[in-house]
Amino acid sequence: NSKLRHVEKDVLIPQIMRDRAKELCSDKVQAFTKCCQETGFLMVVKCRQENTALKDCLVGYYSDPSFYEDCKAEYLKQREEYRATGIKKKRQKVTSNV
């Protein structure tokens, strides 16, 4: 049964999308974070370029219909496993130590 409830469409799948997009844009996340750490209070002005690059990367994924479908398929697979086993699987976060 692949019918989605409101909370699945509006909350759970978008959460997977955000997590995956952050992983896929990790270089831009790191650049923005590094800029903010180095700049302090002037980050709003000085890190504008890094912030724009990060937003563009994330929005690119959020607005991609095939990315949504991939994340929906991932969610449905997790839901099916949970219904079969009763064990909720935590999503593994990919961390890079660069």
Per-residue pLDDT tens digits for 45-80: 899 999 999 999 999 999 999 999 999 999 999 999
The predicted model scores a pTM of 0.77
Of 47 and 94, the structure prediction assigns the larger pLDDT to 47
> What is the DSSP annotation of the chain?
--PPPHHIIIIIHHHHHHHHHHHHTHHHHHHHHHHHHHHGGGHHHHTHHHHHHHHHHHHHHHT-HHHHHHHHHHHHHHHHHHHHH--PPPPPPP----
> Would you say residue 91 has pLDDT above 70?
no
> Would you say residue 6 has pLDDT above 80?
yes
In the prediction, which pLDDT does 1 show? 56
> Would you say residue 94 has pLDDT above 60?
no
